[in-house]
Amino acid sequence: MIAGPVINGETRLYGILGDPVHSSLSPAMQNAAFAALEINAVYLPFPVHPEKLAQAVVGLAAGGVAGFNLTVPHKIAIQPLLDEITPEARAVGAVNTVRRDDSRLAGANTDGEGFLQALAEELDWAPQGKRVLLLGAGGAARGIAFSLLGAGLHTLIIANRTAARAEALAADCASHFPRCRVETLPMEGLAHSAPHLLVNATSAGMGDGESPVELARLKIGEAVADIVYSPLETPLLAQAARLGLPACNGLGMLLHQGRLAFEYWTGRTAPLEVMRQALMAGLSARG
Ligand code: NAP
């Protein structure tokens, strides 16, 4: 029998609130990290219906929760329920990590920074002076857009199925980063966008979904990043492999946003390799 963590009166509670949340890999990753550093804490999935979010947060806080993550669909709705939000997360308009300090709930967003760290680690790619085509304008795309621009990107081109959301994100980006070029393009008009990097931040390609674009029609200068990680090789990444383009999936972003959340909660350096192995084990257990 495998021994679980010892739960006692000192155990700190963490978790992830989502709907659905049953297939989240975060519990495996965060519990492995707590165990590796011998931190007396446990991280649980909490399935929370959107209408019950406020009730769930008040209840968890009253029960002494030490921190939690938010996933779809709570990253935007959580904001008015918090006592403070980092300026970065406030600008992005989404929170994925909450820490309880005394009785105050503080929110941050580690998605965008996690994405940048995955790009650096897996593709040795940095945004300074570069041109990116970003597909999507949802919560994840917003975090990625702000992090890329904050890290010195020259030009950001946003394309989204619903054009109005791309326009709204572009307007927000332009007002926060007036020195950067921010453009929008229709999904069917990407042939001349000529980016160094293409980022898929849409849900297209999840499960047995299709690629959001036909890569051979675009002139990608350097690399492709897909933030979807299930399947590990999305249809977009399969196209990138056929074209010989360097590429990465969303597993690295998941790992690094989790690492940053762990460090925000504990103030300790996260055991990155332990977390990476727990993610891989969680994925292969899914089959
Ligand atoms: P979201 O806020 O619901 O946004 C979804 C985005 O995908 C929107 O831009 C939406 O376009 C677009 N979209 C959905 N279905 C599409 C389709 N069939 N064709 C083209 N576009 C489509 O979700 P999110 O939080 O941004 O998450 C987006 C994806 O990123 C999800 O797959 C999520 O699992 C993944 N993600 C990964 C990580 C990671 O750590 N790797 C972190 C966060 C999210 P419309 O505006 O037209 O609806």
The 10s digit of each residue's pLDDT in 109-120 is 999 999 999 999
User: What pLDDT is attached to residue 3?
Assistant: 66
Q: Which atom of ligand 1 is least distant from the CA of 203?
A: 32
Name the residue of 203, 230, 234, 251 whose CB sits within 8 Å of the most ligand 1 atoms, as the mutation to test its pocket: 203
| Tokens standing for residue 29 | 């990753």
CA angle 34/37/39 to nearest 5° reads 55
For residue 171, is pLDDT > 70? yes
Question: Which residues have CB under 8 Å from 69's CB, separation 6+?
Answer: 15, 16, 17, 26, 96, 97, 98, 258, 261
User: What pLDDT is attached to residue 205?
Assistant: 83
Ligand 1 contact via 7 beta carbon (within 6 Å): no
Average pLDDT over residues 178-203: 95
User: What pLDDT is attached to residue 273?
Assistant: 98
Say how many Å lie between the CA of residue 94 and the centre of ligand 1: 14
Question: Which residues have CB under 8 Å from 38's CB, separation 6+?
Answer: none
Name the packing angle between helices 111-123 and 251-266 (round to 10°): 130
Instruction: Estimate to the nearest angstrom the gap between the alpha carbon of 14 and the chain centroid.
Output: 18
Residue 284: band (very low, low, confident or very high) from pLDDT cuts 50, 70, 90: confident
User: What pLDDT is attached to residue 170?
Assistant: 98
Average pLDDT over residues 44-55: 98
- On whether the CB atoms of residues 251 and 232 are closer than 8 A, the answer is yes
pTM, to two decimals: 0.96
Average pLDDT over residues 15-33: 96
- As a whole number, the mean pLDDT across the chain is 95
Ligand 1 contact via 137 beta carbon (within 6 Å): yes
Q: How far is CA 130 from CA 149, 180, 250, in A?
A: 10, 11, 21
Say how many Å lie between the CA of residue 246 and the centre of ligand 1: 22
Tell me the residue type at 126.
A
Ligand 1 contact via 113 beta carbon (within 6 Å): no
Average pLDDT over residues 77-83: 97
Say how many Å lie between the CA of residue 203 and the centre of ligand 1: 4
